[in-house]
A and B are shown apart, each in its own frame.
Chain A
Amino acid sequence: MESLLQFLFSGLTVGAVYALVALGFTIISNASDVVNFAQGEFVMLGGMITVFAHEAGVPLALAAVLAILLTAAVGVALNKLAIEPARGAPVVSVIIITIGASILIRGASQLIFDKQLHRLPSFSGDAPIRIGGATLLPQSLWVIGGALVVFVALWLFFTRTLTGKAVLATANNRLAAQLVGINTRAIMTLSFALSAAIGALAGVLATPITLVSYDVGVALALKGFAAAMLGGMGNPKGALVGGLLLGLFEALTAGYISSQYKEAVAFIVILAVLFAMPQGLFGAKSTERV
């Protein structure tokens, strides 16, 4: 029983990190149907910039804000310099551009920062919280809380605000959106800024647990992408649930079956789900296009 609880805590911690990364995918995906493979690099930048600003003497909270703003600026630059000039190109080409961007950002970070692993101090100390014989680090609560807050904010954004609806409209039909007076260029810029900011926030919150170095983005983006696909690409609820489920699958497999197979089992489950529901668990509603 204690073991089960520990496995669940582990799954929630890891799952919340995946969910945060997956949430970052949703906005760009909603605005343009593009899967941004540089999302993992946004997460890495969030962590790295915070670490270096903090080491330079900036208070942690300010360093985090700085990292989120700078990463958002990188997101905007990516859109302006690489995505916008390729307007009209097929979605696949744009996705390949984001892969190129991720390699570029990774290489640049290696030069600007360094190649070492870094860690941020936990926000609320390292003393584990004991619940029913199992333990949870306070930082896990920060990550889980962060994922929930971002989820609620995104959900409100897409359903309650005009801008959010404009983002959805842009994805649905760019020409029609322009005809009803939506500035689709500004919407794309906004979606890259927001995605990058969410990625950076994920990096800031997760770094005390996952550690950060210039090359952590790839692995994170892969897991976040898997989580987003599982939940349904573009749906914030799907990202949240997909991330948490992926984390729980891994932890329970590691706990009860074998740690050798934990990733294999998680991906087999994802494949099985996608065979039955190609849109993902919550994908059908939001990606339905008439």
Chain B
Amino acid sequence: MKTTTTLTALTLALLASTAQAEIRLGASLSATGPAAFLGDPEAKTLEMLVEEMNANGGLNGEEIVLTLYDDGGDPNKARTFATRLIEDDGVVAIIGGSTTGTTMAIADLAEDEGIPFISLAGAVSIIDPVREFVFKTPHTDRMACEKIFTDMKAQGTTTIGMISGTDGFGASMQAQCKEVAGDYDITIAADETYGPADADMTPQLTNIANTDGIQAVLNPGFGQGPAVVTRNYAQLGIELPLYQSHGVASDGFIELAGAEAANGIRLPGTALLIADILPDDDVQKEVVTSYKAAFEEKTGQTVSTFGGYAHDAFALMTDAITRAGSDDPQAIRDALEATDGLVGTTGIYTFSETDHLGLDLSAFRMLEITDGGWSSVE
């Protein structure tokens, strides 16, 4: 053990000519560019947590040094930065990849170089098939579909209409939902789409409303699309229940769609979103309230699910490094895979050899928008 530490320290010293008593973490996030709404809170969260941990004596008594690059959502840049992190900055672990594209660019490299890597992106393909060094914190689209369909089934809904964005998120979730709908005896009778920058979806919604037998409507998408859909839904006076995805699980959505139009919408979200109304005995209560309070005080911005992904990645990584007792990448990876019941803001993580996501459906809470706020329907 001692030799490994010394060796690693030596290697580090050679690579980056750094002092010995520090643990070097790397991150490549999309803090600017089209995915900035993901990367911006993620970057702020990581910086905040590192600062906090160092102020409290660091990790294993060593200071954490975070090297954070902004890849602007560009997979090519992400790959360059990942190379730089590993070769020049000599990091022992990488957090990042705000989007699936940037994640994939980093994942191959991390896998080849044997550096543990926790992604903050959604796609199932990141961890399926399992790669030795690649983990991720956000739940998948498929889980969101399953959560929504579970709720629909409980309401006795069997026939639904879907209206999905054609952006990456919407298209991916649309495909996943269509794949799992059969497992819940749900028929998708109408399947419409819209462009991510469209300003009016009344034609698509009119067609859905005119399709026979539809009992509910599901709208996978993020950004402005779901807000426009919600407003058009109210404009047309459609009475059927409307389900949105976890892509819009933020207070900003209610504001954009208007509290009146958004009333009664159901969507799967994380405990973080309803931190204030979680019962005190909820196992995630403490984690989400303390992260929310710290983030909002530090940045003045409302906390988002995406920042929560970064929080969880950092918690998983530091927990693994503590248990590994060293900053050897292989030891960190092994400790990471042995994570059991770590409570994060997104859910409770238990990794295994075959599961590098470690969340189940309980990570999602079915939420309803009532009077401009969130309430839990479970």
> Chain A interface (Cβ within 8 Å of chain B)?
3, 6-7, 9-10, 13-14, 17, 110, 115-119, 126, 128, 135, 137, 206, 209-211, 213, 215-216, 219-220, 251-252, 254-255, 259-260, 262-263
Contacts and interface: CB of A to CB of B under 8 A. Distances in A.
A194 B251 CA distance: 38
B168 interface: no
Given A17-B199, A117-B227, A259 B193 contact: yes
Given A10-B200, A13-B199, A117-B224, 15 more contacts: A3-B207, A3-B210, A6-B236, A7-B202, A10-B202, A126-B234, A126-B258, A135-B202, A209-B199, A209-B228, A211-B228, A216-B197, A220-B197, A252-B203, A260-B193
B34 A215 contact: yes
A92 B37 CA distance: 35
Contacts of A135: 202, 235-237
Contact of B204 (A13, A211, A215, A254): A254
B22 interface: no
Interface in B14-33: 32
Contacts of A17: 199
6 contacts: A10-B203, A135-B236, A209-B200, A211-B227, A213-B224, A259-B203
Q: Which of A13, A255, A259, A260 has the most CB of B within 10 A?
A: A259
Nearest to B256: A119
Interface residues of B, number: 35
B192 A259 contact: yes
A10 B256 CA distance: 20
Contacts of B203: 6-7, 10, 251-252, 254-255, 259
A259 B255 contact: no
A213 B166 CA distance: 19
B200 A13 contact: yes
B194 interface: yes
B256 A6 contact: no
Given A115-B36, A117-B224, A9 B202 contact: yes
Nearest to B225: A211
Contacts of B40: 115
Contacts of A117: 223-224, 227, 252, 256
Contacts of B32: 110, 115
A206 B198 CA distance: 12
B223 A259 contact: no
B236 A219 contact: no
A212 to B, nearest CB: 9
A122 B261 CA distance: 13
A115 B37 contact: yes
A259 B256 contact: no
B206 A255 contact: yes
A128 B206 contact: no
A113 B252 CA distance: 16
Contacts of A7: 202-203, 206
Contacts of B256: 117-119, 211
Contacts of A10: 200, 202-203
A219 B227 contact: no
A3 B224 contact: no
B260 interface: yes
A254 B36 CA distance: 30
Nearest to A263: B195
